[in-house]
């Protein structure tokens, strides 16, 4: 006996009317809308058995919850609403399906939600769940299915990672076919999906999840863990449908395969894991039930397939752009036709012919309309679309007055080229054409086998508007001042070359040029479009140079300086400097030192001034220090040593009487005889001078008094010798009445006699003395009275 495997809930041998609202299968999808981070469309796809009381009362809104995986904390609860009309599942063998009351509906619920990525940062991720009931009592491989619920489950990663938003959508799945297969015959069915982000999908069979909702009550929202259903003995996730081999799934493609060897209704679940960069970021669970029943031995004859009224001798057909293909099989009123694309039953495609425009693998399933027979399946023909396309690429530019453009069509192998301008055919038949006229161009490409012809995109070519080059003076001047330059600036471009008087200027390739020579300037500018423009002439004139002179300034002395009138040429200039007012220099206001003065004359009002300079020297008079007077004796010879400042360089003594060298600073007075006053004039380098004088008094003898009174009253306490200053060699010796020496002075009598000997007061009385004034004169003798009150 043969059995059919149906991809929907079916309870064999039980009348449909006796069945409650039975869940068949489904899955969750979470799609990023893309306009705002965290904005998602949530879709619940739910397969139910049609015609049951529960389907009629099935709620058009259901509740879902989002939880954090780490601790199962509830993040939010929301409602999804039924978003489309309930669609029947299409069976390729309608007669057999109707004989078994196989009618199934697809219910789709949707809602858009906005999640805050900053609140979804946990590295373990999050999950979305929807729980409902009930399952079918006739399921063969689980315990107590009529008391088991159904949990839809989806995991997704943190929405904010490493400081940025994470974009991710869950896998998407195509519609389900109403198909069946025979017992002990190999059966394969595509159960895979696709990932919008290009992530890797890995498939595995797992145990279906139970739910916590009441069998006939509204669905509830609750956190994991969700218990798995209990398998009957001998069944498991990897042996959900017994067979040789049992039900398995390709881990990479999601292709289901089984050769069933036991009749019954079998429940199974598929886990679809999502990997990015070899790291798991999410998963989705899908659940389905397969019914294994007896299959009739007789088969509908295999249908013949024709393409465009021709036998389908090839397994592929290529359509030109905009074309379609007519697929046909012989018409038999006793047969039912179901066309498929990529293994999926096409809605309303139930006639012997089908016009196709989309690419894919097409076939037709033919079944009897009068009895349940094994269907006949045509060969598969793959419809391809000629993807040849063409673009026109332009190299070059149509400048305002010249230029050309090379147009190139996208290179295609084994094609002929026809070029058009404004709809008119041009001569060239190669993949490129050089043009120098405005217009709209395209190429018609035809495969050499005549299969397809297609047109490239159009390319509109227009001349660029003229953008004349120009030169301006940055300062606004057009005349070149003496010893100056003029900054010229061109309009903008990408390349520059300057000329003066028709000759290229070496290395002048910048948008600015510093003109230091008069002449006629032009600049050639190449723009970013490759077009060159030549500017009009910009004439730079030279202002004649002038020679500015500034008369020298005589040195001045700080002590005797008078204002100096300054003179320069040509007239009309301006003097400047410290101490300058108008054309007068005041040395006293300027002060001692070297002062740089200037005289500036402008060749024209707009030109910088031409400057001549002179240095004004304001000198300091030397300083001289001399004693007011010197006392000496007649015939003496002695030096006069003045104290002079370092800037004193020349000297002159007057009169020169008795002087050995009156041009030295220090002079020697030789054998003076009379009183005299000398004046010393000292000169600095700048010619400034200072005078100093000293009076020389000549004394003939020393006067020795008759008595003195060393009694401490401040009067005559010591023996004064008037005139002794004139005799620097003078020595006086004082004796007591016994001829003993009680005092002998140093030369010049620097310390007068105070009436003591060795610190002891001498007695009053008469003391004799001997005074030696010079070595050449005999000593003078006399007596002195020492008195004490």
Phi then psi dihedrals of residue 378, to 5 deg: -75, 170
Q: What is the pLDDT of residue 213?
A: 59
Helix or strand run (H / E) with residue 28: strand 23-32
Same domain assignment for residues 222 and 81:
yes
Percent of the chain with pLDDT over 70: 95
Helix or strand run (H / E) with residue 203: strand 200-206
Same domain assignment for residues 576 and 628:
no
Confidence of residue 412 (pLDDT cuts 50, 70, 90): low
Torsion angle (degrees, nearest 10) of CA 129, 132, 137, 138: -50
In a domain, 298, yes or no: no
Q: Kindly report which listed range (220-229, 424-433, 499-508, 752-761) carries the lowest average pLDDT score.
A: 424-433
Q: How far is Cα 566 from Cα 551, in angstroms, rounded to an integer?
A: 7
Contact in structure between 318 and 336 (CB atoms under 8 Å) = no
Q: How far is Cα 596 from Cα 608, in angstroms, rounded to an integer?
A: 20
Q: What is the mean pLDDT of residues 193-199?
A: 95
End residue of a domain, out of 407, 439, 461: 461
For residue 14, pLDDT beyond 50: no
Same domain assignment for residues 405 and 479:
no
What are the angstrom distances between the C-alpha of 265 and each of 9, 20, 217, 624?
A: 8, 16, 25, 137
Parent domain of 666? 624-699
Q: What is the pLDDT of residue 625?
A: 93
Same domain assignment for residues 176 and 325:
no
For residue 12, pLDDT beyond 60: no
Q: How far is Cα 155 from Cα 170, in angstroms, rounded to an integer?
A: 8
Q: What is the pLDDT of residue 204?
A: 98
Instruction: List own/partner pairs for 56-60 with CB under 8 A and 24 or more apart.
Output: 57/21, 58/21, 58/107, 59/218, 59/219
Q: What is the pLDDT of residue 135?
A: 81
In this predicted model, what pLDDT tens digit does every residue of 27-60 receive, in sequence order? Answer: 999 999 999 999 999 999 998 888 777 777 788 9
Token pair for 522: 């032009």
DSSP string computed for 384-413? EE------EEEEE---SS---EEEEEPP-T
Percent of the chain with pLDDT over 90: 48
Q: Which DSSP symbol is given to 228?
A: B
Q: What is the pLDDT of residue 399?
A: 84
Confidence of residue 576 (pLDDT cuts 50, 70, 90): very high
Q: What is the mean pLDDT of residues 170-196?
A: 85
- Residue 301, number of CB atoms within 10 A of its CB: 11
| Contacts with 708 (C-beta within 8 Å, 6 or more apart), sequence order | 716, 717, 718, 719, 720, 755, 784, 786, 787
Same domain assignment for residues 331 and 316:
yes
- Residue-level length of the chain: 789
For residue 9, pLDDT beyond 50: no
End residue of a domain, out of 488, 517, 542: 542
Contact in structure between 773 and 732 (CB atoms under 8 Å) = no
**C-alpha triplet 304, 310, 316: angle, nearest 5°:** 80
Q: What is the mean pLDDT of residues 753-776?
A: 90
Same domain assignment for residues 455 and 495:
no
Q: What is the pLDDT of residue 289?
A: 85
Residue with the two structure tokens 């080229």: 417
Q: How far is Cα 490 from Cα 495, in angstroms, rounded to an integer?
A: 11
In a domain, 46, yes or no: yes
DSSP string computed for 687-753? S-EEEEEEEEEEE------SEE--SSSSSS-S---TTGGG-TT-EEEEE-TTS-EEEEPPTT--S--
CA nearest neighbour of 480 among 395, 408, 540: 540
For residue 1, pLDDT beyond 70: no
Q: How far is Cα 543 from Cα 649, in angstroms, rounded to an integer?
A: 51
In this predicted model, what pLDDT tens digit does every residue of 662-714 receive, in sequence order? Answer: 999 999 999 888 889 999 999 888 788 889 999 988 877 788 899 999 998 88
In a domain, 347, yes or no: yes
Q: What is the pLDDT of residue 784?
A: 93
Token pair for 479: 């005349």
CA nearest neighbour of 175 among 50, 38, 340, 354: 340
Domain CATH code at residue 584? 2.60.40
Confidence of residue 18 (pLDDT cuts 50, 70, 90): very low
Helix or strand run (H / E) with residue 44: strand 39-49
Residue with the two structure tokens 């196989």: 102
Q: What is the mean pLDDT of residues 413-440?
A: 88
Q: Give a three-class secondary structure readout of 606-651.
A: CCCCEEEEEEEEEECCCCEECCCEEEEECCCCEEECCEECCCCCEE
Q: Which residues pair with 534 in a beta bridge?
A: 524
For residue 468, pLDDT beyond 90: no
Q: What is the pLDDT of residue 674?
A: 85
Same domain assignment for residues 181 and 126:
yes
| Burial of 205: CB neighbours in 10 Å, binned 0-12, 13-18, 19+ | buried
In this predicted model, what pLDDT tens digit does every residue of 599-608 receive, in sequence order? Answer: 999 988 888 8
Confidence of residue 104 (pLDDT cuts 50, 70, 90): confident
Contact in structure between 21 and 58 (CB atoms under 8 Å) = yes
Going 662 to 665 to 669 to 675, the CA torsion angle's sign is positive
In a domain, 615, yes or no: yes
Q: Kindly report which listed range (6-10, 486-490, 703-707) carries the lowest average pLDDT score.
A: 6-10
CA 685 to mean position of chain CA atoms: 67
74 vs 466, which has greater pLDDT? 74
Helix or strand run (H / E) with residue 276: strand 264-276
Q: How far is Cα 589 from Cα 562, in angstroms, rounded to an integer?
A: 10
For residue 652, pLDDT beyond 70: yes
Say whether 364 sits in a helix, a strand or coil: strand
CA nearest neighbour of 45 among 6, 90, 83: 83
Same domain assignment for residues 147 and 272:
yes
Q: What is the pLDDT of residue 6?
A: 38
Phi then psi dihedrals of residue 20, to 5 deg: -80, -170
Instruction: List own/partner pairs for 684-687 with CB under 8 A and 24 or more apart.
Output: 684/619, 684/620, 684/621, 684/622, 684/647, 684/648, 684/649, 685/619, 685/647, 685/649, 686/555, 686/557, 686/617, 686/619, 686/620, 687/555, 687/557, 687/619
Q: How far is Cα 102 from Cα 5, in angstroms, rounded to an integer?
A: 12
For residue 555, pLDDT beyond 70: yes
Q: Kindly report which listed range (11-25, 159-173, 215-229, 339-353) carries the lowest average pLDDT score.
A: 11-25
Taking all residues of the chain, what is their mean pLDDT, rounded to a whole number? 87
Confidence of residue 504 (pLDDT cuts 50, 70, 90): very high
In a domain, 301, yes or no: no
Best mean pLDDT range from 13-22, 230-239, 534-543: 230-239
What are the angstrom distances between the C-alpha of 389 and each of 50, 386, 408, 413, 456?
A: 48, 9, 13, 12, 6
Contact in structure between 171 and 195 (CB atoms under 8 Å) = yes
Q: How many domains does the chain have?
A: 7
Same domain assignment for residues 263 and 376:
no
Say whether 95 sits in a helix, a strand or coil: helix
Torsion angle (degrees, nearest 10) of CA 580, 586, 587, 593: -10
Same domain assignment for residues 70 and 137:
yes
Say whether 778 sits in a helix, a strand or coil: coil
Q: How far is Cα 215 from Cα 91, in angstroms, rounded to an integer?
A: 29
For residue 177, pLDDT beyond 70: yes
For residue 414, pLDDT beyond 50: yes
Q: How far is Cα 445 from Cα 389, in angstroms, rounded to an integer?
A: 9
End residue of a domain, out of 589, 619, 649: 619
In a domain, 414, yes or no: yes
| Burial of 400: CB neighbours in 10 Å, binned 0-12, 13-18, 19+ | middle
Same domain assignment for residues 355 and 425:
no
In a domain, 510, yes or no: yes
245 vs 407, which has greater pLDDT? 245
Say whether 518 sits in a helix, a strand or coil: coil
Q: What is the mean pLDDT of residues 80-94?
A: 85
Q: How far is Cα 486 from Cα 517, in angstroms, rounded to an integer?
A: 9
In a domain, 417, yes or no: yes
Q: What is the mean pLDDT of residues 419-434?
A: 89
- Residue 37, number of CB atoms within 10 A of its CB: 17
CA nearest neighbour of 341 among 355, 359, 325: 359
Q: What is the mean pLDDT of residues 323-329?
A: 89
| Burial of 555: CB neighbours in 10 Å, binned 0-12, 13-18, 19+ | middle
For residue 2, pLDDT beyond 50: no
Token pair for 45: 């796809």
Same domain assignment for residues 379 and 396:
no
Q: What is the mean pLDDT of residues 276-289?
A: 95
Best mean pLDDT range from 5-14, 153-162, 699-708: 153-162
Contact in structure between 390 and 420 (CB atoms under 8 Å) = no
Domain CATH code at residue 481? 2.60.40.10
Phi then psi dihedrals of residue 18, to 5 deg: -85, 0
């Amino acid at each position: 006996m043969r059995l059919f495997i149906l991809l929907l809930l079916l309870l064999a041998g039980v009348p449909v009317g006796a069945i409650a609202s039975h869940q068949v299968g489904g899955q969750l999808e979470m799609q990023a809308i893309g306009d705002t981070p965290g904005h998602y469309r949530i879709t619940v796809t739910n397969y139910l058995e049609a015609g049951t009381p529960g389907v009629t009362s099935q709620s058009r809104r259901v509740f879902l919850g989002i939880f954090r995986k780490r601790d199962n904390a509830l993040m939010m609860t929301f409602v999804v609403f039924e978003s489309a009309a309930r669609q029947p599942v299409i069976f390729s063998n309608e007669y057999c399906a109707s004989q078994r009351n196989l009618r199934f509906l697809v219910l789709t619920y949707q809602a858009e939600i906005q999640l805050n990525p900053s609140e979804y940062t946990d590295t373990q991720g999050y999950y979305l769940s929807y729980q409902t009931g009930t399952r079918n009592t006739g399921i063969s491989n689980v315990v107590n299915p009529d008391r088991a619920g159904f949990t839809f489950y989806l995991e997704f990663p943190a929405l904010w990672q490493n400081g940025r938003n994470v974009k991710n959508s869950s896998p998407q799945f195509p519609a389900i076919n109403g198909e069946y297969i025979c017992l002990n015959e190999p059966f394969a069915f595509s159960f895979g999906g696709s990932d919008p982000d290009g992530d890797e999908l890995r498939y595995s069979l797992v145990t279906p999840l139970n739910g916590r909702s009441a069998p006939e009550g509204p669905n509830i929202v609750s956190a994991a863990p969700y218990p798995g259903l209990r398998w009957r003995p001998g069944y498991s996730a990897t042996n959900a449908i017994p067979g040789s081999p049992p039900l398995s799934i390709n881990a990479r493609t999601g292709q289901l395969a089984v050769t069933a060897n036991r009749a019954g209704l079998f429940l199974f679940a598929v886990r679809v894991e999502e990997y990015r960069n070899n790291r798991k970021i999410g998963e989705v669970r899908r659940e389905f039930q397969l019914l294994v029943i007896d299959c009739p031995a007789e088969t509908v004859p295999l249908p013949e397939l024709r393409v465009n009224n021709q036998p389908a001798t090839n397994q592929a057909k290529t359509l030109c752009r905009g074309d379609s293909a007519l697929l046909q099989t012989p018409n038999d009123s006793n047969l039912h036709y179901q066309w498929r694309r990529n293994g999926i039953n096409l809605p309303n495609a139930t006639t012997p012919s089908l016009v196709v425009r989309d690419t894919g693998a097409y076939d037709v399933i033919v079944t009897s309309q009068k009895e349940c027979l094994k269907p006949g399946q045509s060969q598969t023909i793959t419809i391809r679309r000629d993807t040849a396309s063409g673009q026109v690429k332009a190299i070059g530019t149509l400048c305002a007055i010249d230029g050309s453009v090379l147009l190139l069509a996208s290179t295609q192998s084994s094609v002929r080229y026809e070029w058009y301008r404004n709809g008119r055919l041009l001569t060239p038949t190669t993949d490129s054409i050089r043009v120098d006229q405005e217009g709209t161009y395209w190429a018609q490409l035809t495969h050499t086998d005549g299969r397809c012809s297609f047109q490239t995109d159009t390319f509109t070519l227009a001349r660029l508007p003229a953008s004349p080059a120009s030169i301006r003076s940055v300062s606004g001047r057009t005349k070149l001042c003496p010893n100056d330059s003029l900054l010229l600036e061109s309009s903008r471009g990408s390349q520059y070359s300057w000329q003066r008087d028709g000759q290229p200027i070496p290395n002048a390739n910048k948008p600015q040029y510093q003109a230091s020579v008069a002449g006629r300037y032009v600049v050639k500018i190449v723009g970013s479009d490759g077009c060159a423009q030549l500017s009009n002439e910009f004439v730079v004139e030279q202002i004649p140079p002038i020679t500015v002179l500034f008369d020298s300034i005589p040195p001045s002395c700080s002590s005797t300086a008078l204002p100096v009138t300054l003179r320069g040429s040509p007239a009309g200039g301006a003097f400047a400097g410290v101490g300058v007012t108008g054309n007068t220099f005041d040395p006293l206001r300027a002060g001692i030192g070297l002062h740089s003065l200037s005289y500036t004359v402008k060749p024209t009002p707009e030109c910088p001034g031409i400057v001549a300079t002179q240095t004004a020297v304001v000198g300091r008079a030397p300083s001289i220090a001399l004693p007011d007077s010197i006392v000496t004796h007649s015939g003496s010879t002695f030096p006069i040593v003045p104290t002079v400042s370092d800037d004193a360089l020349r000297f002159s003594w007057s009169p020169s009487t008795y002087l050995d060298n009156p041009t030295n600073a220090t002079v020697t007075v030789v054998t003076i005889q009379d009183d005299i006053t000398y004046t010393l004039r000292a000169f600095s380098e700048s010619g400034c001078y200072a005078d100093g004088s000293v009076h020389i008094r000549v004394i003939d003898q020393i006067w020795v008094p008759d008595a003195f009174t060393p009694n401490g009253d401040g009067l005559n306490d010591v023996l004064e010798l008037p005139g002794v200053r004139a005799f620097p060699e003078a020595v006086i010796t004082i004796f007591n009445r016994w001829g003993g020496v009680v005092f002998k002075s140093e030369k010049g009598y620097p310390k007068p006699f105070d009436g003591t000997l060795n610190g002891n007061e001498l007695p009053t009385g008469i003391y004799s003395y001997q005074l030696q004034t010079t070595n050449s004169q005999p000593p003078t003798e006399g007596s002195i009275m020492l008195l004490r009150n």
